[in-house]
Amino acid sequence: MLQWIKIADLVVDPSYQRPILGRGRTNVMRIARDFRWTFFAPVVVSPVQGGKFAIIDGQHRTTAAALCGYDSVPCQVVIAAQGEQAAAFKAINGVTTPITPMALYAAALTARESWALEITEICSSADVTLLRYPIPTDRQAPGQTMAVGALRACLKRYNRDLLTLALRCISHSHNNMPGMLSARMVKALCEALAELGDLASDESRVILAADSINLDELQQRSAEAAAQSNKGPTSSLAAEIRIAFARELRKLAA
């Protein structure tokens, strides 16, 4: 059955529940910061001795509600012995379908969250299509990308103009091939362009330089170099891209 239960009457069984530490605390604070009942799934509980209810699922949500000053939460009450409670806890928390970053982006866009709207605008201005579900590289069209996580990270680390330029270096050059807008390539391009500084300040010249560079070839070469060094594949690719762009931009400036 479903009913509202006072938080003071909810308890945690330490034999199967986890203490709220580290990432758990971070999760509680995240829920509390943007607390809305529309986001709140009923807490799954089971009656125990003393008129209390053991929380099977929803400890973080309940704690966040308490932090926000609420004294009761909606609960789904099930009758279960301690062993069944532990099994239910494992079933609910151990078999979770992960949500892809693309699905999260699609939901955020529908909810008109600022970061999703900005990434959509950036992709549009760079003639890039951000996919909303996974598509194998060999079935992608030129200009399509699944790298929403990389786009969001680069927007946060650099700025809108630099990210747009990085995308255009692919979408507006002969490098616009299926699979080229990978997370690794987007991050490496942003890192390389940021390190070039004023040398990469003229967008038209940068895109002209990109048209003289084979980014796929650099990607393959950097992967081999990374395997023989302590550098990560993205850093190795960024270094290769930076050298190639510096060379071509100096040619164009001469």
- Looking at this protein, which amino acid is placed at residue 215? L
Average pLDDT over residues 138-150: 93
The boundaries of every CATH 3.90.1530.10 domain in the chain are: 2-94
Beta strands in the chain (DSSP E): 2-6, 10-11, 43-48, 52-57, 72-77, 129-130, 144-145
Q: How far is CA 242 from CA 191, 199, 202, in A?
A: 8, 11, 15
Confidence at residue 96, expressed as pLDDT on a 0 to 100 scale? 60
Structure tokens given for 83:
């062993």
CA angle 178, 118, 246 (to 5 degrees): 55
Using pLDDT thresholds of 50, 70 and 90, give the confidence band for residue 9.
very high
3-class SS at 58?
coil
Confidence at residue 67, expressed as pLDDT on a 0 to 100 scale? 95
Check pLDDT > 80 for residue 228.
no
How many angstroms separate the CA atoms of 128 and 72, rounded?
47
2-94 CATH choice from 3.30.1130.10, 3.90.1530.10, 3.40.50.2300, 3.90.920.10? 3.90.1530.10
Q: Considering the chain, what percentage of its residues have pLDDT values greater than 70?
A: 97
Using an 8 Å Cβ cutoff, are 187 and 163 in contact? Answer: no
How many angstroms separate the CA atoms of 133 and 131, rounded?
6
Q: Which residue has the higher pLDDT, 254 or 85?
A: 85
Report the candidate in 12, 13, 17, 2 with the shortest Cα–Cα distance to residue 73: 2
Per-residue pLDDT of 79-125, as tens digits, reads: 989 888 888 887 877 766 566 788 888 878 887 889 999 999 999 99
The radius of gyration computed from the CA coordinates of the chain, to the nearest angstrom, equals 25
3-class SS at 197?
helix
Using an 8 Å Cβ cutoff, are 177 and 196 in contact? Answer: no
Per-residue pLDDT of 37-56, as tens digits, reads: 999 999 999 999 999 999 99
Prediction pTM value: 0.70
Confidence at residue 253, expressed as pLDDT on a 0 to 100 scale? 84
How many angstroms separate the CA atoms of 225 and 243, rounded?
14
How many angstroms separate the CA atoms of 72 and 63, rounded?
11
How many angstroms separate the CA atoms of 154 and 162, rounded?
9
Check pLDDT > 80 for residue 57.
yes
Choose the weakest-confidence range: 163-167, 171-175, 232-236. 232-236
Per-residue pLDDT of 179-222, as tens digits, reads: 999 999 999 999 999 999 998 899 999 999 999 999 999 998 88
